[in-house]
Structure 1
Amino acid sequence: MGVGDDCKLKFLELKAKRNHRFILYKIDETTREVVVEKLGGPQDIEALPENQCRYAVFDYDFVTDENCQKSKIFFFTWAPDTSRVRSKMLYASSKDKFKRQLDGIQFELQATDLSELSLDIIKDRAH
Structure 2
Amino acid sequence: MEAQIYNIDSNTYEIKFEESEYPIDSINSLIEELPDNSPRFIILSYPFESKDGRKVNPLIFIYWRPSTSKQDNKMLFAGCLDLFKDQVSASKFIEIVDEEEFEDLVDQIMQ
> 1:124: how far off?
3.7
Runs of 4+ in 1 over 6 A off after TM superposition: none
Give the structure 2 partner of residue 42 of structure 1: 26
Greater percentage in strand: 1
Give the structure 2 partner of residue 122 of structure 1: 106
- Paired with 2:39 and 2:47, the residues of 1 have a C-alpha distance of 25
The correspondence of residues 38-117 of structure 1 with structure 2, limited to 5 A, is: 38=19, 40-43=24-27, 44-46=29-31, 47-103=33-89, 105-117=90-102
Q: Which has the higher contact order (CA 8 A, sep 6+)?
A: 2
Q: Structure 1 vs Structure 2: percent identity of aligned residues?
A: 26
1:109–1:124 CA distance, 2 compared to 1 (3 A): closer
Superposition TM-score, scaled by structure 1 size: 0.74
Contact 2:60–2:109 (CA<8 Å) still a contact in 1? Answer: no
Q: How many residues align?
A: 106
Contact 1:72–1:126 (CA<8 Å) still a contact in 2? Answer: no
Unpaired segments ≥5 residues, structure 2: none
> 1:61: how far off?
1.0
Question: Cα RMSD over matched residues?
Answer: 1.8
Unpaired segments ≥5 residues, structure 1: 1-19
Give the structure 2 partner of residue 33 of structure 1: 14
